[in-house]
Structure 1
Amino acid sequence: MPYQRPPVKAPRLSGVALKAFVNTLERGGIGPSLVEKLLRDSGIDRWRELSAGDAPPLQHPLPPGAPPAEPQTPEAQAARAIAASPVVPKRETVAAFARAYRDGGTDPVAVVHRLHDAIDRLDSGEGRLGLFIARKPDEVLRAAEAAAERLRAGRPLSVLDGVPVVLKDELDLAGFPTTLGTTFRTEVAQADSTVAARLKAAGAVILGKANMQEIGINPVGLNPHHGAARNPWNRGHLTGGSSSGSGAVVAAGLCPVSIGADGGGSIRIPAALCGVVGLKATWGRIPETGVPPLCWNVAHVGPMGLTVDDVAAVYAMVAGSDGRDVAALQQPPHHLSGYEDGALKGVRLGLCTPHFEDADADVVARCREAVRALTDAGATVVEIPPPDLNSILWTHSCIILSEMTEAMLPQLKSRASVFGLDSRTNLALGRHFRATDFVHALRHRFRLTRELLALMADVDVIVTPTTASTAPLIPEAALPAGESNLPMADALMRFIRLANLTGCPALSVPAGFDGAGLPVGVHLMGRPYEEHLLLRLGRVVERATERRTPAIHVNVLP
């Protein structure tokens, strides 16, 4: 089968035109006909006619993976990742914080005071970056004081003790509402999500809740209520979404690690566009207890960080079953076996050349250099068949939009105007899918997962760009409402969707810069429960890639 990418045919709309378009979509009469035309023009009929064979409408059982060769506690794994982290000037990694605290160069209290000053400067006024939705500086300072006391006593809880971290406002943090980037979710969380609880138990200092795309429904990073999240490399450009603030805070130097959530690239897209590392682990690998449901079948939470070592350390601390999230119950222990081994002899890289090259020229060139770094370390390239992008597009779109619409249905029925116009566009599409479409999508997810697992018997990792372009310009004239730009969304999600559908782990790693100085990300997708291999390969790419500092950046360590 030759490589084919179906065009996404939809008008780019903003302002009055977008409002009129959304109102038409939501009404009876012509609305459903207009939605159906949009879907047909973008290839849904071909997908509806495509047989799923004998695939049932179930999640394909993921293979259990091999047991760890070197079992270790989460704390020991995190320490291992940080011990392997090199000293790099002006790179304020988790390792840099740990060393500064250990050597007495600073303490968490001094760091937090500097951070509060920096956040007040960067996230206020006309030049604000749109990083945070909620903060409680006094609580942050108390957490820093407790961490400083433990460090002075020589009893740190982990290598993360006293290290600043930020959570996407999609995870419960006790004492804060989990708004999902909306205005109508105001109930204060009474308990921490599992991820927040594990970070606190490790001593991390949580600075606050990061801005995000409203209900995570678009990959660009514009929010009509809290403002656009702006890219620290160039504030006139998008961060990507939906974990927009989570990517930007790391790039801006406010923390070495953050937590995002990913139902369709929402960790990996902003990681690529903001020049940081982002891990979407295997489905269920990191518990979603305390994460309001938006898209049950494709959702993940996970770490974003300045370096692969930072992401590996946080992954080690937050992964593993909590006994409550049903998707996380049956899985092998997570581990970092072989993590420091930069010799890649025997590792097979799956690459479909026409798919890999279906991106902007600078993106392809930088990602080719990343592949060269891996082959220079001993890996080999295996050409693989092209993906069925039309099936992947509609299978993923039907599942995620149907589930998000169901999750938001009470608000849609009572007052749809509480959502921004771009969210309402996607929710109108979600309401239009039929029950038969959803079952058809579940069957194709099973089929696509089965086919991917068979393909990965012959390769260890599949390599593509993360996004087909670097960070697009922010449509300033369309703010604050934003715009509907489905072709742009498709360019950002082109290489992303299959990992969400199948549940396979995927990592975005910085691979250099385009001619305008904007970051490029390379995407590594692996077999279930083989995050350790992706992180190992990510370190090789990282060490071969040029490092730069964003135009908007702070340093808080002396």
Structure 2
Amino acid sequence: MSYQRAPVKAPRMSGVALKAMVNTLERGVVGPVLVEKLMRDSGIEQWRELSAGDAPPIQYPLPPGAPAAEPQTPLEQAARAIATSPVTLERETVATFARAYRDGTTDPVAVVKRAHAAIERLDGGADRLGLFIARKPEEVLSAAEASSERLRAGMPLSVLDGVPVVLKDEVDLAGFPTTLGTTYRTEVARADSTVAARLKAAGALILGKANMNEIGINPIGLNPHYGAARNPWNRGHITGGSSSASSAAVAAGLCPLSIGADGGGSIRIPAALCGIVGLKATWGRIPETGVPPLCWNVAHVGPMGLTVDDVAAMYAILAGPDGHDVVARDQPVHHLSRYEDGSLQGIRLGVCTPYFEDADPDVVTRCKDALRALTDAGATVVELPPPDLNAILWTHSCIILSEMAEAVLPQLKARASVFGLDSRANLALGRQFRATDFVHALRHRHRLTRELLALMADVDVLVTPTTACTAPAIPESTLPAGESNLPVVDALMRFVRLANLTGNPALSVPAGFDRAGLPVGVHLTGRPYEEHLLLRLGRVVERAAECRTPSTHVRVLG
């Protein structure tokens, strides 16, 4: 089979036209007919006729992964991840924070005060970056005072003690509503999510809840209620989404780490567009307890950070069962075996060249540079057959949009206008899928997982660009409602959907810049529970890539 990608047949819409289309889609008689036509024009009938073979509608069991060669506790792993990190004035990494605190150059209280002042500058007024939905500065300052006392006593809780982080407003943080980027979710969370609790136990300082695409339904990052999240490399461009401000806050220098969530590239896409690192770990590797359900079968929560070492440290602290999340049970112990080993002898990189090259020229060039860095370190390239993009597109779209429509159905029925126009358009699609479509999608999910695992018996990691383009310009004239632009959505999601369907871990790493100075990301997909290998390869790519500082940037260490 030759590589094929059908063009997206959907008009770009905004304003009155988008509102009219959404109102039509939601009408009882006309809407379903129009939705069905749009789906047929985009290739759903070919997918409906595609056999899933003997695959049942349950997820194919993920193999258990190899045991740790170097067993360590999560805190030991986190310390190890940053042990050989370069410490420079230009990049305020976790290692830079740890060194500054150890040397007494500064302390968490001073850092938090600088961070709060910087947030006021960056997120206030007409030129705001659209970073935060909610903050409680006094609570953060109190946590910083406790952290400073521990550090002065030589008793830090972990290498993250006193390190600022932000949380996507898709995870519970006690005392805050978890808005999911909406205005109707106002109930205050009574308990921390597992990821928030583990970060607090490690001493991290949570600056606040980060802006996101409404209900995480779009990879662009424009929120009609809390404003467009803007890219620190060029504030006229998008951050990507849906973990939009989680990436922008790190890129802007407010913190070296953040929490994102990823149902269809929502960690990796904004990481690529903002020039940071994003890890979607194996499905269930990091517990989703305290993360309101939006898309049960494809959802992941995970770390985003300035460098691979930063992400590795946060991954070490977040991963592992919590006794509550059923998907997170019965998994092997996470580890960072051979993490520091820069020699990649024996590592096989799977590449489908026409798929790899189906991106903008600058993106392809930079990702080829990343591939060269891996082969220079000893890895070899194995040519792979092309993926069935239509099957991947419709299998993923059916599962995620059906589940999102079900997750918000009470609000949608009560008052659809509480959602933005673009969300309503996507939810109308989700409500139109048939029960037979959903079962068909689950069967194909099983088939695709089984086939990917078989393919990866002969390769260790798949390599593609993360996105097919760098950050597009924000359509300013369409704000605050935004627009429906499916060709851009496809360019952002082309390479990332499969890992959500199968549950395989995937990592986006900065690979350089295009001619306009916007970041490019390279995407590495691994076998289940082999995050340690992805991070090891990501480290090699990162150290070979050009490093720059965004035009909008602050330093909080002083």
TM-score, normalised on structure 1? Answer: 1.00
Q: 1:283 is matched with which residue?
A: 283
1:386-413 Cα deviation digits (max 9, x unpaired): 0000000000000000000000000011
Matched, 1:12 2:36: no
Describe the SS at the equivalent of 1:326: coil
2 CA distance for matches of 1:6 and 1:151? 57
1:122-173 Cα deviation digits (max 9, x unpaired): 0010110000000000000000000000000000000000000000000000
1:180 Cα deviation from its structure 2 partner: 0.1
Matched, 1:91 2:91: yes
Describe the SS at the equivalent of 1:426: helix
Describe the SS at the equivalent of 1:225: coil
Residues 449-528 of structure 1: pairs in structure 2 closer than 5 A: 449-528=449-528
1:343 Cα deviation from its structure 2 partner: 0.2
Segment of structure 1 superposing worse, 85-94 or 72-81: 85-94
Describe the SS at the equivalent of 1:327: coil
Describe the SS at the equivalent of 1:557: coil
Q: 1:344 is matched with which residue?
A: 344
Q: 2:421 is matched with which residue?
A: 421
1:285-305 Cα deviation digits (max 9, x unpaired): 000000000000000000000
Matched, 1:150 2:153: no
Matched, 1:228 2:248: no
TM-score, normalised on structure 2? Answer: 1.00
1:507 Cα deviation from its structure 2 partner: 0.1
Describe the SS at the equivalent of 2:327: helix
1:487 Cα deviation from its structure 2 partner: 1.1
Describe the SS at the equivalent of 2:415: helix
2 CA distance for matches of 1:113 and 1:206? 13
Describe the SS at the equivalent of 1:464: strand
Residues 257-268 of structure 1: pairs in structure 2 closer than 5 A: 257-268=257-268
1:6 Cα deviation from its structure 2 partner: 1.7
2 CA distance for matches of 1:87 and 1:260? 25
1 CA distance for matches of 2:466 and 2:364? 10
Q: 1:408 is matched with which residue?
A: 408
Describe the SS at the equivalent of 1:167: strand
Opposite residue 40 of structure 1, the aligned amino acid is R
Opposite residue 17 of structure 1, the aligned amino acid is A
1:96-141 Cα deviation digits (max 9, x unpaired): 0000000000000000000000000000101100000000000000
Q: 2:77 is matched with which residue?
A: 77
Matched, 1:44 2:44: yes
Matched, 1:123 2:119: no
Opposite residue 93 of structure 1, the aligned amino acid is T
1 CA distance for matches of 2:515 and 2:70? 43
Opposite residue 487 of structure 1, the aligned amino acid is P
Q: 1:386 is matched with which residue?
A: 386
Aligned residues: 558
2 CA distance for matches of 1:16 and 1:274? 31
Q: 2:167 is matched with which residue?
A: 167
1:89 Cα deviation from its structure 2 partner: 3.0
Describe the SS at the equivalent of 1:110: helix
1:425 Cα deviation from its structure 2 partner: 0.4
1:88 Cα deviation from its structure 2 partner: 2.7
Matched, 1:334 2:341: no
Q: 2:198 is matched with which residue?
A: 198
Large movers: runs of 4+ above 6 Å: none
Q: 1:181 is matched with which residue?
A: 181
Alignment identity in percent? 84
Opposite residue 446 of structure 1, the aligned amino acid is H
Q: 1:551 is matched with which residue?
A: 551
Q: 2:540 is matched with which residue?
A: 540
1 CA distance for matches of 2:482 and 2:84? 43
Segment of structure 1 superposing worse, 5-14 or 327-336: 5-14
1:29 Cα deviation from its structure 2 partner: 2.2
Structure 1 unaligned regions, length at least 5: none
Describe the SS at the equivalent of 1:547: coil
1 CA distance for matches of 2:206 and 2:213? 20
Residues 350-389 of structure 1: pairs in structure 2 closer than 5 A: 350-389=350-389
Q: 2:238 is matched with which residue?
A: 238
RMSD of aligned residue pairs (Cα, Å): 0.4
2 CA distance for matches of 1:532 and 1:401? 31
1 CA distance for matches of 2:481 and 2:63? 44
Opposite residue 62 of structure 2, the aligned amino acid is L
2 CA distance for matches of 1:109 and 1:5? 52
2 CA distance for matches of 1:438 and 1:4? 24
Residues 282-301 of structure 1: pairs in structure 2 closer than 5 A: 282-301=282-301
Matched, 1:273 2:285: no
Describe the SS at the equivalent of 1:105: coil
2 CA distance for matches of 1:480 and 1:174? 29
Structure 2 unaligned regions, length at least 5: none
1 CA distance for matches of 2:294 and 2:84? 37
